[in-house]
């Protein structure tokens, strides 16, 4: 455990912000379920997850982050093994096989994979920091990525696969990716997106992408305002919820879209819209600012880290939180297709919340054990 004097390096601002977000999430979930008997245990379960999560942050912070460097390869293979196993014996829901059911607990390996890939890539880039930044250097890191992404796509779980790819590219860039390769990747990315959109618009089939995933893109590009169900309906109701919130909202537990259940999946994917209706523009800006504050604290710790490995871990966690936050809010505002990504620390979900707090614990470990500055 940590010595008493080392606690002065613990980032209490970061811990406090995460705690506030988690507690607010429980409060918001209580309103969002609106007396739905099928979701009666949701608040209790999320409260348990938050309690466990706060302990996990402290425990993870007490372990020197260098320990994970020596275990990075083992963790990577365990992560891949879990992803392979989920496709063989996992439980299916909403058209995907993503969970291990153990009693009343659902374990989602793809959430754990986000943290594992950050540790594995941080280990790779730190060990090869002095190597030439060429295609071989890039290719080896890509193989680490592919070893996980393939199994995530098979579930299928395209949104999580995209998150992992974004983490890989951001850490690749932070490790000194030359500008010429950034331009090359940008061109390749534009071409791939263009081809995919063309195939979708022509009604073709894309290997590895499920029909419902294609449907989400089509509904985003060509929404049917008369739809009474599906992604289009959900997004329309989300926009109505956001718009009806005004500056200060209808008040906690008083949003008609939420309480009358017009807004669907309001405790997970669309909790931002539920919050907008009840707390208004001021409330959503405050929450967004708090999430951005968490990202900034992670980046400060990354900058002050004692070594490349620690800095990359903190940067990877910051990327994960920022990207997932941006996508979730973008979906709620109808500027991105529906993805299924949760709002960090706020949306209901045990695996999602616990993976996020473990990530924060790793960042706190970097802060505590680097001993390079006080903040």
For residue 168, how many C-alpha atoms fall within 13 Å in the half-sphere facing its CB? 22
Q: What are phi and psi of 121, to 5 degrees?
A: -70, -40
Q: Where are the beta strands (DSSP E) in 76-139?
A: 91-93, 96-102, 105-107
Q: Where are the beta strands (DSSP E) in the chain?
A: 91-93, 96-102, 105-107
Matching residue, tokens 């994970």? 68
Q: What are phi and psi of 160, to 5 degrees?
A: -70, -35
Structure tokens at 102: 């153990």
Instruction: State the Cα–Cα distance between residues 265 and 300, nearest whole angstrom.
Output: 35
Per-residue tens of pLDDT for the chain, all 375 residues: 455 656 788 999 999 999 999 999 999 998 888 767 677 788 898 999 999 999 999 999 999 999 999 999 999 999 999 888 887 765 555 445 566 665 555 678 889 999 999 999 999 999 998 899 999 999 999 999 999 999 998 887 888 999 999 999 999 999 999 999 999 999 998 998 888 888 877 777 776 677 777 777 777 777 766 666 666 788 888 888 898 888 998 888 888 888 877 778 888 888 999 999 999 999 999 999 999 999 999 999 999 998 999 999 999 999 999 999 999 999 999 888 888 889 999 999 888 899 999 999 999 999 998 764 443
Instruction: Identify the sign of the CA torsion 14, 17, 20, 23.
Output: negative
10 Å CB burial of residue 138 (0-12, 13-18, 19+) is middle
Between strands 91-93 and 105-107, the pairing is unpaired
Q: How many residues belong to the chain?
A: 375
Q: Helix or strand or coil: residue 94? A: coil
Cβ contact 167:328 at 8 Å? no
What is the separation of C-alpha 124 from the centre of its chain, rounded to a whole number of angstroms?
22
Instruction: State the Cα–Cα distance between residues 15 and 195, nearest whole angstrom.
Output: 44
Q: What pLDDT, on a 0 to 100 scale, did the predictor assign at position 375?
A: 38
Instruction: State the Cα–Cα distance between residues 309 and 67, nearest whole angstrom.
Output: 11
How much is the pTM?
0.90
Q: What pLDDT, on a 0 to 100 scale, did the predictor assign at position 208?
A: 66
Cβ contact 96:157 at 8 Å? yes
Query: Residue 301: which of 318, 285, 320, 284 has the closest Cα?
Result: 318
Give DSSP secondary structure letters for 32-53. HTTT-GGGTTHHHHHHHHHHHH
Q: What pLDDT, on a 0 to 100 scale, did the predictor assign at position 94?
A: 47
Cβ contact 242:191 at 8 Å? no
Query: Residue 222: which of 205, 203, 208 has the closest Cα?
Result: 203
Q: What pLDDT, on a 0 to 100 scale, did the predictor assign at position 253?
A: 82
Instruction: Identify the sign of the CA torsion 109, 112, 117, 120.
Output: negative
Instruction: State the Cα–Cα distance between residues 321 and 3, nearest whole angstrom.
Output: 29
Instruction: State the Cα–Cα distance between residues 268 and 349, nearest whole angstrom.
Output: 7
Instruction: State the Cα–Cα distance between residues 259 and 173, nearest whole angstrom.
Output: 45
Query: Residue 5: which of 298, 359, 374, 304 has the closest Cα?
Result: 374
Q: What pLDDT, on a 0 to 100 scale, did the predictor assign at position 103?
A: 54
Instruction: State the Cα–Cα distance between residues 180 and 334, nearest whole angstrom.
Output: 33
10 Å Cβ neighbour count for 323?
A: 18
Q: What pLDDT, on a 0 to 100 scale, did the predictor assign at position 373?
A: 42
- Cβ-Cβ contacts under 8 Å for 207 (sequence gap 6 or more): none
Q: What pLDDT, on a 0 to 100 scale, did the predictor assign at position 48?
A: 93
């Amino acid at each position: 455990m940590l010595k008493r004097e080392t606690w002065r390096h613990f980032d209490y601002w970061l811990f406090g912000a995460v705690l506030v977000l988690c507690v607010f999430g429980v409060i918001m979930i209580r309103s969002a379920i609106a007396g739905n008997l099928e979701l009666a245990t949701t608040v209790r379960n999320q409260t348990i997850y938050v309690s466990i999560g706060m302990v996990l942050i402290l425990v993870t912070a007490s372990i020197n982050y260098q320990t994970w460097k020596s275990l990075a390869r083992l963790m990577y293979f365990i992560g891949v093994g879990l992803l392979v196993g989920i496709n063989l014996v996992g439980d299916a829901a909403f058209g995907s096989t993503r969970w291990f059911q153990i009693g009343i607990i659902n374990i989602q390996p793809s959430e754990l994979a986000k943290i594992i890939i950050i540790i594995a890539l941080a280990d790779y880039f730190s060990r090869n920091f002095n190597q030439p930044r060429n295609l071989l250097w890039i290719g080896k890191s890509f193989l680490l990525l592919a070893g996980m992404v393939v199994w995530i796509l098979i579930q299928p779980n395209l949104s999580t696969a995209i998150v992992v790819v974004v983490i890989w590219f951001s850490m690749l860039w932070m490790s000194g990716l030359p500008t010429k390769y950034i331009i090359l990747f940008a061109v390749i990315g534009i071409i791939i997106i263009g081809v995919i959109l063309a195939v979708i618009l022509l009604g073709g089939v894309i290997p590895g992408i499920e029909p419902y995933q294609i449907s989400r893109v089509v509904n985003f590009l060509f929404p049917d305002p008369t739809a009474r169900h599906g992604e289009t309906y959900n997004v329309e109701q989300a926009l109505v919820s956001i718009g009806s919130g005004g500056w200060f909202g209808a008040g906690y537990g008083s949003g008609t879209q939420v309480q009358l259940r017009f807004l669907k999946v309001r405790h997970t994917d669309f909790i931002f819209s539920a919050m907008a209706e009840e707390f208004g523009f001021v409330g959503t800006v405050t929450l967004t600012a708090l999430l951005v504050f968490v990202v900034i604290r992670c980046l400060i710790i990354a900058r002050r880290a004692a070594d490349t490995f620690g800095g990359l871990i903190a940067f990877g966690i910051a990327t994960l939180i920022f990207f997932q936050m941006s996508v979730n809010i973008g979906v709620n505002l109808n500027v991105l297709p529906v993805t299924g990504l949760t709002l960090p620390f706020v949306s209901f979900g045990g695996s999602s919340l616990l993976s996020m707090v473990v990530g924060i614990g790793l960042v706190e470990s970097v802060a505590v054990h680097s001993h390079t500055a006080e903040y």
